[in-house]
Amino acid sequence: MRQKTRIQNIVQEVPGIHSFYLEPVDGSQLVPFTPGAHIDVFLDEGLIRSYSLINTTDESRRYHIAVKQETEGRGGSRKMHQLEIGQELEVSEPRNNFPLADPPGQSILLAGGIGITPIYGMAKHLAALRAPFKLHYLVRSAQDAAFLNELREEFDDRLVSALGLDVEAVTSHLERLLSSEPAGTHLYICGPTPLMDLGRKIAAKYPAINLHLEYFSADPALDQLPKGTFQVKLARTGRTITIPEGRTIIEVLAENDLVIETSCEQGICGICMTKVLEGTPDHRDMLMTDEEHAANDQMTICVSRSIGPLLVLDL
């Protein structure tokens, strides 16, 4: 279900990052959400972009998101930065692929750059519960660190900010952090792909740590993988459709009158997840686990392709 909202306020947090405060057009309540959730924002020209909710979950008449303008992005962030106070926006109901554990236990929240957006909301929730946590914020410089002053005021000694670290320093930081944490600690990471991959690699050395990841953009390297032609058979109708090189499954299906709901178009949100009946997917998403990839029984058809000549999908 789409919700009609109006931009109540826009705040420049740091150069290149704007906060947007959205309120319901009709004065009613917005759909509630849980910490770590995101909404889809429906923009002109069919663009749909996902943004994490920052505010506390007890606010029923406001959504708070923040958007970093990406100069080499696909245009969504640029359009967001062109919006003005008072404009109306349609947004989805909140969804959560990055929930806090219940009960929360001991938590480490690790944010890289604009990855602070879901982490900030999670920290607010844990603080309200008086649950133990530490928030580590890695960013290039104080000028790039959105919400840094607010984080310092709200979380005081629970915040560890690290500015301008190189890869070696970030590695050492994570090694020291995880080596000192007790078994059962939950580690939540959101940030750019290199940080996520590094976090996964180091966390693998500490199997007693519970790792939770939220990718906010797909890996650009995925675009460099082979994109050969293959066929998709639709099991429910028996129809077979050719997927050309350079085209996604979801695009070609739409051209053939089979529109599959999608949002991120980057293999992050999971909305287009489809059951695989035959064939071997070439998984290119950032959502599924290694075990789920190995099972080869489902795939994100917005970015993933086929290793072999044919996929049979439950469509």
Taking the whole predicted model, whether its pTM rises above 0.85 is answered as no
Q: Locate 307 and state its tokens.
A: 């290793």
Best CA proximity match to 36, nearest among 118, 131, 107: 118
Give 3-state DSSP helix, strand, coil % of the chain, rounded to 5.
Answer: 25, 30, 45
Task: Please give the structure tokens belonging to residue 218.
Answer: 């797909």
CA 181 – CA 167 distance, rounded (Å): 21
pLDDT band, very low/low/confident/very high, at 224 (cuts 50, 70, 90): very low
Domain extents in the chain:
2-92, 107-215, 221-313
| Digit-coded pLDDT (tens) for 108-141 | 999 999 999 999 999 999 999 999 999 999 998 8
β-sheet with 88-92: strand ranges across: 48-52, 38-42, 88-92, 2-14, 17-24, 63-68
> What was the pLDDT predicted at 33?
96
What pLDDT, in 10s, does the model give residues 141-160?
Answer: 888 999 999 999 999 999 99
Residue 221's pLDDT band (cuts 50, 70, 90): very low
- Contact assessment for residue 151 and residue 136, using Cβ atoms and an 8 Å cutoff: no
Q: Quick one: average pLDDT of 292-309?
A: 88
Question: CA-CA distance, 169 to 162, in Å (whole number)?
Answer: 10
* CATH number belonging to domain 107-215: 3.40.50.80
Q: Which CATH class name applies to 2-92?
A: mainly beta
CATH class for the domain made up of 221-313: alpha beta
The token duo for 136 is 């580590």
